[in-house]
A and B are shown apart, each in its own frame.
Chain A
Amino acid sequence: MTKNCGFATSIIGASHIRKQIPCQDNSCYIKGKGYETVVVSDGHGGAKHFRSQFGSEFAVQVVKETIGSFVAALGDNANVTDEKINEYEKSIIFLWRSKVEKDFEKKPFTDLELKDLSPNENKEVNEDFHLAYGATFLCGLKVKGKIIFMQLGDGNCVIMDNHKTYEPLEDDDRLKYGFTTSLCSQTAISDFRHIILHDCEKCSLFLTSDGIINSFENVDAFYKFLRIVCDNIKSKEFLSDLNVFLQELSTRGSSDDMSLTAIYSEG
């Protein structure tokens, strides 16, 4: 019987510490009845996304509140289809927007929050307050030998088995050159991407925010790092050593916040 274990960690980036802004990444690992899930959400760093730490927090909360029902609805054989995932993605966006709207109702924008925006940015967030909460969304679900990735925005969804390390979702041109798709976007529903993988009982999966891959010279170095994570995940000092290392990685690399989550399979 394959033994799984999982974890999630998010650390504040070196540049955020310097500029005294909060960590805008959030993540979680959930172990449910017959399934495991990991989530990463990375709040956007631009000036007009000044509440993105709440946006990423809401994204993780939505999954915590709904993933159990989603899995239950798949039935005993986890009969997952593209249509069911599409519906779940729509509900994620709807519930995220509801949380944002409740928060904005309780706390309208203050002059202090708006003072550093350009006239154009000011106009944009006043026309659509969801922008201030903009964040990415990555979710990995392992159930009955299947792995499902759902992704909106940048970051990496990685599969690892004994033979290879790879990213099963196709490249998205909208995630290059510093751009990203987002929960706050008007086109969020159609921007979502997902994939269903079968016969993955012995596979491990990772979700990372883009602060991590942006700290490596190339993709091979990033994958080698994930292999080291796999090789040491059962060690007593694993999580404490990882958090110390991620802080150093941010300082020497991208300077960005970093999230790393995994569902590890012993195989």
Chain B
Amino acid sequence: MSNIFDKVEGIAKRTATVFFIIDQSGSMAGVKIGAVNHAMGEVANELKKLMEDNADANLELAVLTFSQDAKWMSSAPVSVDNFHWENIDALNMTNLGVAIDELCKKLSKDKGGFMKGAKESYAPAFILMSDGMPTDNYQVALKKIQSNGWFKYGIKTAVAIGDDADKNMLAEFTGTIENVIEVHNSKDLIKVIKFLSVTSSCIATKGASGVSKAGDDNDLIVITQPDDLLDDDYSEF
């Protein structure tokens, strides 16, 4: 039966975006980059299963890899149904500042930005993975992105890969050390990438914000890590 409103166009589900920011510096060579490739290859399937039970939102993924430069794996976020991981290699530097600057540029609804929708409804999720110390002045870029609303209110987590990872820097990125998970073997790295992807996506697509509090004092979203997530085997890295 026809309806007066049959001609209404532009209807869409809200979209939540998960940003993966992945260190591919030289020190990631071998077992570490292998584990990242393995985990990211399986992330899409894990997230598709999650979204089967969530009809309220679309989930899109965007991957930014960095060493000397920062490069997006696709020109726009990709729906989880269409996401295909392409294996990456370890390269050279750890220019985190360059990566954060590039991420900041895309957190916008302007031309070239990755954020869409009529309103800024779902805050995105950010997962940073790194095994070392930044080789550039990342603090300037971090200070700038911290005033971007999508970053400020987004879910921020990080994976500290091995002993040499700069956990303080990662905590500066996430806003709390509680959202930094440290791993020392490839099995744990794979588990943590999947855990953070699923947990962050779940929170992002449920729109876990709430009533504004006075000033900027809104609660940081803290991820609760299951006690049995890690094997605590320190033999690999």
Contact = CB atoms under 8 A, between A and B. Distances in A.
A15 B119 contact: no
A5 B130 CA distance: 61
Tier of interface size on chain A: 35 or more
A244 B8 CA distance: 13
Contact of B118 (A46, A186, A222): A222
Nearest to A221: B10
Interface stretch (B18-26, B158-166, B205-213): B205-213
Given A173-B149, A213-B119, A180 B12 contact: no
Contact of A177 (B5, B9, B14, B153): B153
B12 A241 contact: no
Interface in A221-237: 221-222, 224-225, 228, 232, 235, 237
B208 A178 contact: yes
B173 interface: no
Nearest to B120: A176
Contact of A217 (B12, B121, B207): B12
A225 B8 contact: yes
A252 B209 contact: no
A146 B61 CA distance: 47
Contact of A252 (B11, B153, B208, B211): B11
Interface string B108-136: 00000000111111110000000000000
A89 B5 CA distance: 36
Contact of B4 (A131, A179, A185, A242): A242
A179 B211 contact: yes
> 6 shortest A-B CB distances, which residue pairs?
A221-B10, A178-B209, A245-B5, A177-B153, A255-B56, A174-B212
Interface of A: 14-15, 18, 44, 46, 131, 134, 173-182, 184-187, 191, 210, 213-222, 224-225, 228, 232, 235, 237-238, 241-242, 244-245, 249, 252-255
Given A134-B211, A210-B119, A242-B5, 16 more contacts: A14-B56, A173-B149, A177-B123, A177-B153, A178-B209, A178-B210, A179-B212, A214-B117, A215-B11, A217-B11, A218-B10, A221-B11, A242-B4, A249-B8, A252-B11, A254-B13
